[in-house]
Homo-oligomer: A and B are copies of this chain.
Amino acid sequence: MSTAVSAKHSDAASLVSNTIGEITRHIRAHELGPGDRLPSEAALSRQLSVSRTVVREAFSSLAAMRLIDLRAGRRATVAELDYGAMSLVIEHGVHTEQITVQQIYDVRRTIETRTAMLAALRRTADEVERIRTHALAMRENVQQPEQVMEHDLAFHHEIAKAAKNPIFSLIVGAFERVSRQTWPIGWRTRPSDAEQLEMIQIHIDLAEAIETGDPQSARDLMARHFDESVKALLAAGIA
């Protein structure tokens, strides 16, 4: 696998990409925020002297990146930050064998040891509650892997949120689609009840460290969690 990651020079002077530029410029120039409405397709079509087809494709592209929201009959609106697009990029990388699962774990470890630390420092009572609930729900539903996975994902997500930096949420979210596909593999490498509970216990301990407000301990537990996971994956021959 090559580690080349490029960015095409997007001065591709096609009408559609120019139109995309005009629309983002419009958002910036008018200081639009999430929920604010954009001009209609027909209006932009006239204004930029291109066909509605071109404007539509531009809107469609922006919607694909989740920069705007589109709904039938309604005007396009500026969207809230959303990790959907990044999620697709990562998934694409994995499926085209440009990214390995192990590389994802390394990045997640790097990011999530930080979110755990920050969460321990910045979490609110509500957030602690949600984090702990998910950790405990993992143990309660240990017989239903599907449930365990959902609470596991939500657990990590809530920690990222509690870190109070939306970019961390964005990145953690970006791995969600792929995680949903690789998670069962990791689970299967822990066939005994004891091993499963041990893995879940780390989550519970982590929730407690965040509740106590112990960043060092939260950091270490998250690091251990990922170290164990990678070890399990390697043992299963995923490398």
**Which chain A residues (1-32) contact chain B, with CB distance < 8 Å?**
1, 3-8, 10, 16, 20, 24, 27-28, 32
Q: A123–B7 Cα gap in the complex (Å)?
A: 22
Asked if A103 CB lies within 8 Å of chain B CBs, one says yes
With A and B bound together, what is the CA distance between A173 and B158 in angstroms? 26
* CB–CB B20/A168 < 8 A: no
A39 at the interface (CB under 8 A from B): no
| Residue positions of A touching B, CB distance < 8 A | 1, 3-8, 10, 16, 20, 24, 27-28, 32-34, 53, 56-57, 60-67, 69, 78, 80-93, 95-99, 103-104, 106-107, 110-111, 114, 161, 164-171, 173, 176
11 inter-chain pairs at a CB distance below 8 angstroms, sorted by A residue, are A3-B161, A5-B170, A5-B173, A20-B64, A24-B92, A24-B95, A57-B60, A60-B61, A81-B98, A82-B89, A85-B85
Distance in angstroms from A195 CB to nearest chain B CB is: 28
Taking a contact as CB atoms under 8 Å apart, the answer to whether B103 and A88 are in contact is: no
**Closest B-chain residue to A98, C-beta based?**
B81
| Contact, CB under 8 Å: B65 / A64 | yes
**One of B56, B61, B93 near A166 (C-beta < 8 A):** B93
Q: Given contacts A34-B96, A81-B98, list 17 more A-B pairs with CB under 8 A.
A: A1-B166, A4-B81, A5-B161, A5-B169, A5-B173, A7-B87, A8-B84, A27-B92, A32-B96, A57-B57, A60-B60, A66-B89, A78-B96, A82-B89, A85-B86, A86-B86, A90-B167
Residues from chain B with a CB closer than 8 A to the CB of A16 are 60
The interface centre, meaning the residue of A67, A86, A89, A167 with most chain B CB atoms within 10 A of its CB, is A167
Residue pair A88, B110 in contact (C-beta under 8 Å): no
A29: min CB distance to chain B, Å: 10
